[in-house]
Amino acid sequence: MKKKSLILLPLLVASWIGAQAQTAAPAPAAAAASAPEPTPSPFTANINLTSNYKFRGQDQGTLKAWSPAVQGGFDWTQNGFYLGNWNSNVSFAGNIEMDLYGGYRGEITKDFTYDVGILQYYYPRNSDNVPFSFDTTEIYGSLAYSFFTLKYSHTVSSDYFALGAINQASEGLASRPKGSNTGYLDLSANYEAVKGLTLNGHIGYTRLAGDLRDAMNTSGATPVHAYANYTDWKVGATYDLGSGFTVAGAVVGASERSVWGDANKTRFIVTLGKTM
C-alpha cells in the first residue's frame, strides 16, 4: 500500500496543478488590437479678424489701410464632396457678404489633386441701399501639385459684381453691359519653410467680359474706359500658433490703379485666424 501511494502522489499533484491552471484568469493577449481612433467630424469651422479685406487685390472695405473685417464660416466634407459657407462685413451692398459653395475634391495621383465646384457670392441686404444686385455666380476648377495650386473661375451669372449695372446707371444706357464670361486665373503657392511657418505667394489675373471691357465713362471731358483687366498679387507668411490659431501678414495689391482707384492700392494686411 505504501508503495502504491508513492506512485499515485505525483499523478495527484499533476492533476491539481492542471485544474488550477484551467481556473486561473487568462493573461492579456500580447498582440491585442488597440482601440480604433474616433472618426473625425465632417464639419469644420473657422473665424478670422483681419485688418483689411481684399478680394482679388481690391479693397472690399473703406478704401483705407485700416478697415477691419470679421470673417468666418463652416464646411462639411464627406467622401470628397463638400459644402460650405463663408461670410464677411464689407462697405457696400448692405455691408454683408455671404459666400455659398459646393463641389468635389479628388486625386489624380497621391500628390496631384483636383477640385471642381460652384460658388455664389450673395449680399442679403443688397436692396437696402442700391437698386441693383451685386450677387455673382461662378464655376471653378483647380489643380494642385506639391505646394502649388492653379485655379480658374468663370462667371456664369449675367453680371459681375454689378459692374454692368453700375455702368448702365451712370451712363443712362438702355441695356446693361453683360458680365458673364468674366474669368479669373489664380496661381498660388504655400510652402512650409520651417515647422509652423508657411510662406504664401499668389498672382492672379482678372479678364473681364467683352461688354465690361468696352464700357465707357463719359462723365469727364474725355471719354475713357470705365473698367480694365488687371493683375493682383500677394506675398506673405502664416505662422501656426497651435490649438487651431494662426497669425498671418501679407502685402496685397493690384495693377491698373489709374482705372480702379485706391481699391487696387497695395496694403499690408494682418490676420488672426482660428479653425475648429
14-23, 67-76, 112-121: which range is least confident on average? 14-23
**246 with 238: CB under 8 angstroms?**
yes
Mean pLDDT of the chain: 89
7-11, 70-74, 160-164, 233-237: which range is least confident on average? 7-11
Q: Check pLDDT > 80 for residue 91.
A: yes
Give the pLDDT mean for 110-114.
95
Q: What is the pTM of this model?
A: 0.85
Task: For the chain, give every domain's residue range.
Answer: 42-275
Give the pLDDT mean for 75-90.
98
Q: Is 215 exposed, middle or buried (0-12, 13-18, 19+ CB in 10 A)?
A: buried
Q: Check pLDDT > 50 for residue 21.
A: no
Which of 5-9, 10-14, 27-31, 68-72 has the highest mean predicted lDDT (pLDDT)? 68-72
Give the pLDDT mean for 214-240.
96
The model's pLDDT over 127-138, given as tens digits with 9 standing for 90+, comes to 766 788 999 999
Give Cβ neighbours of residue 61 (< 8 Å, ≥ 6 apart).
Answer: 52, 53, 67, 68, 69, 90, 91
| Residue 6's pLDDT band (cuts 50, 70, 90) | very low
| Residue 38's pLDDT band (cuts 50, 70, 90) | confident
Which helix (H) or strand (E) segment holds residue 268: the answer is strand 267-275
State which fold the 42-275 domain adopts: Porin (2.40.160)
What is each CA distance from 163 to 178, 208, 209, 231, in whole angstroms? Answer: 9, 10, 10, 18
For residue 134 the three cell numbers come to: 451685386
Q: Check pLDDT > 80 for residue 154.
A: yes
1-10, 171-180, 211-220: which range is least confident on average? 1-10
The model's pLDDT over 228-267, given as tens digits with 9 standing for 90+, comes to 999 999 999 999 999 999 999 999 999 999 999 999 999 9
- Taking the C-alpha atoms of residue 97 and residue 55, their distance in angstroms, rounded to an integer, is 12
Q: Check pLDDT > 60 for residue 13.
A: no
For residue 218 the three cell numbers come to: 463719359
Q: Check pLDDT > 90 for residue 272.
A: yes
pLDDT score, position 237: 98
Give the pLDDT mean for 45-68.
97
| Residue 214's pLDDT band (cuts 50, 70, 90) | very high
CA 15 to chain centre: 72
Tell me which residue of 122, 119, 44 sits closest to 90, measured CA to CA. 122
